[in-house]
Amino acid sequence: MIRLTAFSKLNVPFSCFWRKLHDKSTVLWLVTLLGFALRVYHLDYRPLWDDEAFSVLIVSSDIWNVALAAVRDTFPPLHHYVLAVLMLAVGWSEFSVRFASLLAGVLAIPLTYQVGRLCVDRRAGLWAALVMALSPFMVYFSQETRAYSWLVLTTLLSVYTFVRVVLSLTEQGHAGVRQWAWFSVASAAMLYTHFLSLWILVVEGLYFLWFWSKHRRGFRAWLGAHIGIGILFLPWVLLMLGVGVEGSTANAGIQQFAGIQTDAPIASL
């Protein structure tokens, strides 16, 4: 009895630690910290390559004209604006220009957990977060000054808000205006990150139509949310159309506002 009592006293700190370790929020923090460590390690080890240099070139112009310069890229301007603001705050280096991508890659880990928790359960969410943290592809894209890690993050935001809406419609019979608004904002942010993210909206739309055929709930709100997405994305569409119509004039404007010679090879930077 004495030996057991002494053993239990010695193990009080260990047992508390063990209980905390089994707490899912603690595990999620540890997984996120692991993902951060993998992404920050050797973040500035490689020099900037061509596409990264082009991203830096775009945001080196006047911040108000980043969108005009970004028309020359294959991505919409959200990542460029995030990068431009970060550069104004912390300066220019391989580490700092890649930190925006690292930030998105790290934030994607707990958001993956939230999506898994809503779709399956907490345990599945933790396993999904661990896969996201350890994914070689996500580690690589989180160390590259391009929009790919932001595409993952904004896609997860769109899916998360969409799942919240569907769950509210299923359990309560309706979803609040705020939930639909968050879905519109998240989806618009996704479109402002990469054009191919439109396919995510297509998949979500097909699922919702199947859901509506079963439950007959939320169709007007769903249409309204997509009208909101269209309104939010309209400025970029108009800018793209304007550049397409103006042609060489727009290209000259890009060079003037960005302070770059767009026909010059990246190697000359």
Residue 40 has a pLDDT of 92
Q: Which pLDDT value is given to residue 102? A: 93
Other Cβ atoms less than 10 A from the Cβ of 264: the count is 11
Is residue 47 helix, strand or coil? coil
**pLDDT value at residue 69:** 74
Tokens 């998949």 belong to residue: 203
Residue 93 CA to residue 95 CA, distance in Å, equals: 5
The token pair that represents 62 in the structure block: 């006047």
Structure tokens at 8: 């239990």
Token pair belonging to 151 = 């595409």
Residues of the chain falling short of pLDDT 70: 1-24, 61, 63-64, 243-269
Backbone CA torsion sign across 39, 91, 152, 46: negative
Listed by start position, the domains of the chain span 26-260
Instruction: Count other Cβ atoms within 10 Å, centred on residue 260.
Output: 18
CA 237 vs. chain centroid, Å, equals 21
Rounded Cα distance, 203 and 220, in Å: 18
Mind listing the pLDDT tens digit for each residue in 75-125? 888 888 888 888 877 777 788 888 889 999 999 999 999 999 999 999 999
At 119 the pLDDT is: 93
Number of Cβ within 10 Å of residue 73's Cβ equals 17
